[in-house]
Structure 1
Amino acid sequence: MDSQHIAIIGYGTAGQAAALSLSRDGHRVEVFERAPELGPVGAGFLLQPTGLQVLWELGLLRQVMAHGRRVDRLYGETPCGRAVMDMRYAGLDARLFGVGMQRGALFSLLADAWAEHGEVHRGHAIDAISEDTRRIRDQQGRWHGPFDLVIAADGSASQLRGFTGAVEREAIYPWGALWQLVPQGGWAWGNELRQRYVAARKMIGLLPVGTRPGDDTPRLSFFWSLPVADFDAWRARGLPAWRDEVAHLWPEADARLDDTVDADQLARASYRDVTLRYWHRDRLVVLGDAAHGMSPQLGQGVNMALMDALALRDALRTQASVPAALHVYQRERQAHVGVYQFWSRWLTPIFQSDRDVIARARDLAFLPMGRLPGGRGHMLRVLSGTQHGFFGALSLKPDFLAALQG
């Protein structure tokens, strides 16, 4: 395909990865971002082998490993120390691991890699797309275009996916989380995601996320789950009372909060369950959370966004027209994403809800199920991002696996 004039709306992970990969293929890319200043949103995340493979293809694996923190194990327990979840990447393949990373670190790496390729129009909130899907309108009423391709990568709260005419489900999960980056200090589990559960009503988690450019302090991503409707009540209750509760449930976690003196240091996060019948119309296509938002239980949001961007690049490489490429892109990505949307929807109330009976069943059955031959392999493939449908698996590239070992 010849060089195309492409508009990307949103400069999060999906938009950044699409801008970089498409610009390198010779396309003329313009990015429109509603924020007046560019920067990441959120604390930390877990890169899975699938997301790492995308960053390897973009030539960024070395920088990712320099700033991120290798994670070999995911472990969850009750406050009395009873194991609920124990998953190790080596149980699937000894060469595999995850990488905990700060959003600021990945944002900087992708932005620096794209710096010479295109332009970001900051402070441009795009609110409409023309009927022929070639033009976009900003908040001032100005139209931009025409474009050969318009990519909506404006996140789980997307205002633009509706222009596909294909929104099937768009629901806000009743439970959200408070997030903060804290110094790693003497944290004992430097290569593990650790979680602690009180039924499904409370969940504390700490993930090692390494450093970011300009800050060499290794950090943890701390999160505390609670209902979205309780955010204001949590703040009104006061930080000292909450710190007392954290200390009672997990003293080691509370010790990491010594620098937390203001409730505003913890960011609020909410999540959406989003399903589209199809992800494109004419020359408009939707990427990342805008296309398939889900709860964070499976930790796949960033990884799916990276995979979307590379799949779109590859479809444009192999097809003779934009509409044909968008059809191929959707067919490939929906086949992979579907099982993650299913499990995310069903696992969320097991870990975030007021259903105590379900939580007790989880505490009894989750760990034994993960030790069964069939269940163990499926769980580990879902964790690593390599599950394809309910019975298939994605193959990682041998050269990438060799690079991981290096």
Structure 2
Amino acid sequence: MPVTSSPLHIAVVGGGIGGLAAALATARAGHRVTLVERATRFGEIGAGLQLAPNASLALDELGVLAAVRHAAVAPPRLVMMDALTGHEVTALDLRGAAYSDRFAHPYLVTHRTDLHTALLTACQEHPGVTLRTGHTVTEAEQNGFGVHLTFAESHAKLSADAVVAADGLHSRLRQSLVNDGEPVCSRYVAFRGALPTGRMTGPMSRHAASEAVMVWAGPRMHLVQYPVRRGELYNQVAVFESDHYSPVSDDWGTEAELEERFAGTCQAVRDALPLISRDRRWPLYDRAPIDTWVHGRIVLLGDAAHPMLQYLAQGACQALEDAVALGQALGRCSDPAEAFAAYADRRRERAALIQTNARRFGEICHLEGMGATLRNMLLSARGPEAFDDISWVWTPTPASAPAR
């Protein structure tokens, strides 16, 4: 990344994957960064993440790809199965010549905490990054010279030339700037977690040994499985639509509904179901795309800008793309407003397309009856090197490309 001759002080709000990546990219562009995180310690919750080649490219540009690869798995195939019949529908070869000729970087799967740790370590080691935990932003006041952040835990303020809001799905800064209401609940929930691979038995043990990413698609539900942490753990995510969703109650998407929705699946899926973590259920949210990411000297990034459903496995990938684009813009422009505008112009349309297409892919995955039959017929005709439909997702917009 180019280094600016006029260093700025940039505050990053949020210490998740997007926030850490943004801090690292900004510091590597030559600026001074203070990252504030409301939790008292850095950490990530959740289980596995899929990192398509666009994410691997971003990690390479951030200088952390080698650290992430150390604990990640490069799956040989991405497989879609019919959750009712147990038959393979379609698959993509992720290690063949067709893949490597088209994509310069690997498709990886990793534990969310391993990716977070790699980014956190890189930030801790960079002299331009200061990390502060236990800082909950309550107000952001800006003028023509900078932004002043106020915190719930202290009367002290943090002053910076500009602010990156990377505070997630329920971003407080977004709410104060955009005022577009709450995130949209899809009525779907996920139960997810990773367990020792050795606990997988029967047909599931063969799938685990194959190291493939397995997507079992069924009516209004699906199951995703793949190994993480050098193959030592097996990640499982069961997703389904609740018949009892209520915006005013938390009594929906229960374990009983999980069992009911998956009751008609094939034996392999039913065998996996008891091993899926039940410690927490995760309602799935997104938002409609917005046109304005930049508000004076404050800019949105990651889920604060474009929260999306997980069906294209691009949530973290897009946050990483954001961070790289932001760092590159800040490396070229000494004026933060100009840099933020260039970053948003480069990223806004692509992120919006992935947001909306993630919804559509979820609808395709969860088809019922004749719709599912037609889906399987069409997809089964595809070969393992048929990357045309997904290549645009896995290929980020070049820095030199103008916004469309």
* Alignment-derived partner of residue 284 in structure 2: 270
1:169–1:275: 8 Å Cα contact kept in structure 2? no
Aligned match for 2:90, one of 73, 85, 96: 85
Establish whether residue 188 from structure 1 lines up as the match of residue 188 from structure 2. no
- Report the Cα distance in structure 2 between the residues aligned to 1:61 and 1:387, rounded to whole angstroms: 17
1:173–1:273: 8 Å Cα contact kept in structure 2? no
1:59 Cα deviation (Å)? 2.4
1:143 Cα deviation (Å)? 5.6
Establish whether residue 204 from structure 1 lines up as the match of residue 219 from structure 2. no
SS in 2 for 1:66: helix
> Quick one: structure 1 residues 166 and 232, their matched pair in 2 at CA, closer, same or farther if it must change by over 3 Å?
closer
Superposition CA RMSD, Å: 3.1
1:351 Cα deviation (Å)? 2.5
* Alignment-derived partner of residue 170 in structure 2: 157
Establish whether residue 109 from structure 1 lines up as the match of residue 125 from structure 2. no
1:145 Cα deviation (Å)? 2.7
1:77–1:196: 8 Å Cα contact kept in structure 2? yes
Establish whether residue 62 from structure 1 lines up as the match of residue 66 from structure 2. yes
2:141–2:147: 8 Å Cα contact kept in structure 1? yes
Structure 1 residues 70-79 or 221-230, which shifts more? 221-230
**What's the CA shift string for 1:214-255, capped at 9, x where partnerless?**
xxx7112101112365674564639xx93x986873544565
* Alignment-derived partner of residue 402 in structure 2: none
- Report the Cα distance in structure 2 between the residues aligned to 1:319 and 1:387, rounded to whole angstroms: 21
2:30–2:331: 8 Å Cα contact kept in structure 1? no
SS in 2 for 1:85: strand
2:218–2:365: 8 Å Cα contact kept in structure 1? no
How much identity, in percent, do the aligned residues show? Answer: 24
**What's the CA shift string for 1:16-62, capped at 9, x where partnerless?**
11112222333221111121221112211111111111212222222
1:318 Cα deviation (Å)? 0.9
1:168–1:276: 8 Å Cα contact kept in structure 2? no
2:28–2:327: 8 Å Cα contact kept in structure 1? no
SS in 1 for 2:40: coil
Structure 1 residues 73-82 or 162-171, which shifts more? 162-171
* Alignment-derived partner of residue 388 in structure 2: 378
Aligned match for 2:363, one of 340, 345, 349: 349
Structure 2 matches for 1:356-367, cutoff 5 A? 356=369, 358-367=371-380
1:257 Cα deviation (Å)? 6.6
* Alignment-derived partner of residue 331 in structure 1: 345
1:70–1:100: 8 Å Cα contact kept in structure 2? yes
- Report the Cα distance in structure 2 between the residues aligned to 1:246 and 1:351, rounded to whole angstroms: 15
SS in 2 for 1:130: strand
> Quick one: structure 1 residues 124 and 196, their matched pair in 2 at CA, closer, same or farther if it must change by over 3 Å?
same
1:305 Cα deviation (Å)? 0.8
Gaps of 5+ in 2: 400-404
- The amino acid of 1:161's aligned partner reads R
Aligned match for 2:136, one of 122, 125, 131: 125
1:113 Cα deviation (Å)? 1.4
1:141 Cα deviation (Å)? 7.0
TM-score, structure 2 as length reference:
0.82
* Alignment-derived partner of residue 7 in structure 2: 3
SS in 2 for 1:94: helix
* Alignment-derived partner of residue 401 in structure 1: none
1:170 Cα deviation (Å)? 4.4
2:222–2:239: 8 Å Cα contact kept in structure 1? yes
- Report the Cα distance in structure 2 between the residues aligned to 1:168 and 1:301, rounded to whole angstroms: 20
1:274 Cα deviation (Å)? 4.1
- Report the Cα distance in structure 2 between the residues aligned to 1:323 and 1:377, rounded to whole angstroms: 38
SS in 2 for 1:80: coil
1:274–1:291: 8 Å Cα contact kept in structure 2? no
